[in-house]
Structure 1
Amino acid sequence: MMGVWFFADVILHCTGYKYHFPFLDTNDIITMEDNCVGPLYKHTFPPALVAWLSFIGLPLMGIGFILYEFQSKWIAGVLSSRIGLPSEEEMMRDVEA
């Protein structure tokens, strides 16, 4: 995907501990079961919606804000085409594993 730029129309900042996105219509591509959002490649990108949607801060267990900073930089790199992602199929295999 090098050389292709994506522009964010909206950056939505949310807080809370129970995931609920009534405003998000993904035609059931994104699911929320037992407060788990999926399928997400590396807890960030939905493989079928890359460059349209990404999530920061969903993993509650871990190193917190430093992880969220790394996710932000990764998303910015993908949106600016400095960083590429695997194919949708490869990302789904990773999610299923």
Structure 2
Amino acid sequence: MTREDMLARLIAQAASEGSDLVTLRAVVEESSELGARRVLERLGLSDDGAHDDIDELRELLQAWRDAKASAWKAAVEWIVRGIFALLLVGIAYRLGVTELVR
């Protein structure tokens, strides 16, 4: 029996016998399962290798996040170094180091 058949029978049971809590829960569970399967099929993730694909995508996303964080960290470090270098040149100029070089 397929999920569609099971859902159809549960809905027919609820219509004919009245809907008690157990039947309603079964209808919700079966329809949720059926909907989830449809979504996975539409996304192309219903095959046996889907779990591996998701794992690879997560690894790729984590690598991207790590690279992005590393790039930002390096950029900030270079900006701070540049500011300190300019500050050092300004201090040297104020102290008159240019006169000592001549």
Q: Which has the higher strand share?
A: 1
Settle same-fold status: TM greater than 0.5.
no
The TM-score normalised by the length of structure 1 is 0.27
Q: Which has the larger radius of gyration?
A: 2
